[in-house]
Amino acid sequence: MTIYSETVMEHFKNPQNAYSMPDANAQGIYGDPSCGDALIIFLKVQNNIIQEVSYLVFGCCAAIATSSMTSVLAKGKSLDEALSITEEDIIKALDGLPETKAHCSNLGVSALRNAITNYNEKTRTDIMEKPQ
């Protein structure tokens, strides 16, 4: 009996964009204390478009796969488009998750939204600090 789709297993075995990004201009962190999963997402944003996205994740097969898929879905999107990515979008892109692992999709969505918030806060601060 297989509990994970082929797509989930592919992203678990060969996660995409899994690396630290020291020159990121934004990062977002999210963890799920109930299961111990944790994710940090790094973004490079230019002209309001996510040019590059990477992450470091600690967790189960589903946490790794959902983090990988989140990075794939977000890359190349505008910040507004990335903010509209939902847990259901991630689950659908992975061809489903077992009900007991569906909460893992929240890891990617929450960390991505936190990274975008971080970028927006930095951008606002940079604008406010520039001399007129």
pLDDT of 92: 97
CA distance 9 to 5: 6
Sequence-ordered strand ranges (E) for 3-129: 26-32, 37-46, 49-58
60 is catalytic: no
The answer to whether the beta carbons of residues 54 and 110 sit under 8 Å apart is no
The answer to whether the beta carbons of residues 95 and 11 sit under 8 Å apart is no
How many CB atoms are located within 10 Å of the residue 48 CB? Answer: 12
Mean pLDDT estimate for the chain: 92
Q: What is the pLDDT of residues 42-82, one digit of tens each?
A: 999 999 999 999 999 999 999 999 999 999 999 999 999 99
Nearest to 54 by CA among 38, 37, 36, 75: 75
pLDDT of 1: 45
pLDDT of 120: 95
Q: What is the pLDDT of residues 22-43, one digit of tens each?
A: 999 999 999 987 788 999 999 9
Q: How much is the pTM?
A: 0.90
Q: What is the pLDDT of residues 83-105, one digit of tens each?
A: 999 999 999 999 999 998 988 88
Catalytic residue among 21, 45, 104, 115: 104
* Burial class of residue 26, CB neighbours in 10 A (0-12, 13-18, 19+): buried
104 is catalytic: yes
Catalytic residue among 35, 56, 60, 83: 35
Largest CA distance in the chain: 65
pLDDT of 8: 96
Full set of structural domains in the chain with CATH: 6-127 (3.90.1010.10)
pLDDT of 34: 79
The two tokens of residue 76 are: 């190349």
